[in-house]
Amino acid sequence: MDKEPAGKKLAILGYASAILVYLPLMIFIAVFGVAVILNHNKGNKFASFHLRQMFGIGLLTIAASVFTNRIDDFWIGLSVLSLMVLLALLGLVSALRNQQDELPFIGKYFQKWFNFIK
């Protein structure tokens, strides 16, 4: 009889989870990098605007995830993550509507802080 050792499936699940947790950040970096390269020296103000907005959302999400991992309250973490998703959706809707709407409260700062993205 070919019996699997106890806990093997759990170990495989843990291994897969550990690998998959890095994929969203790697995909974000890759896609953002490609977008910056495609827009480099093109002077497309529309693309530059939305790249700065998304770069700010990405950095804010990374910073928020670092700080919310230190807090034991699940609901605070979920609220912060939901806010980041909402900001990304607002930016996406603005881009789909072919508009340059700044994100509420922080969009103007993203445009000022990340003006190196042209």
**Amino acid 42: pLDDT:** 81
**Amino acid 5: pLDDT:** 65
Average the pLDDT over each of 10-19, 24-33, 87-96 and give the range with the smallest value.
Answer: 10-19
Q: How confident is the model at residue 15 (pLDDT cuts 50, 70, 90)?
A: confident
**What is the H or E stretch that residue 107 is in?**
helix 107-113
Dihedral sign for Cα atoms in the order 105, 103, 49, 88:
positive
* CA contacts within 13 A on the Cβ side of 90: 15
What digits encode the pLDDT tens for the residues 73-92? 888 888 888 999 999 999 99
